[in-house]
A = this chain, B = another copy of it.
């Protein structure tokens, strides 16, 4: 079975997010004065072959920990769904 995982990786709330601050500044310069806060992270779409949803989840969790996210600076969350059209 194939599963897709939608992973969202965001900088931890306690940390400054210079990229977000720069974009917020840019938005204000463009006249978006009502936008008050911007934080920028990554979105990763993965397709994985696995026997079960829990096995897919274990692989995705492992991949996040080992490569995709830096736990010192980032938090991650994901949703896993079976791909029906394969």
User: Which residues on B sit within 8 Å (CB–CB) of A39?
Assistant: 44-45
Tell me how many residues of A have a C-beta within 8 Å of chain B: 33
Chain A interface, >50% SS class: strand
Is A52 an interface position by the 8 A CB rule?
no
Is A35 an interface position by the 8 A CB rule?
yes
User: Which residues on B sit within 8 Å (CB–CB) of A49?
Assistant: 34-36
Report the nearest B residue to A37, measured CB to CB.
Answer: B47
Taking Cβ atoms with an 8 Å cutoff, the residues of A that contact B are 2, 8-10, 20, 23, 26-27, 30, 32, 34-50, 59, 62-63, 66-68
Give 13 A-B pairs besides A27-B63, A35-B48 with Cβ atoms closer than 8 angstroms.
A2-B36, A20-B44, A23-B44, A23-B68, A26-B67, A30-B63, A34-B48, A35-B46, A37-B47, A39-B44, A40-B44, A41-B43, A43-B43
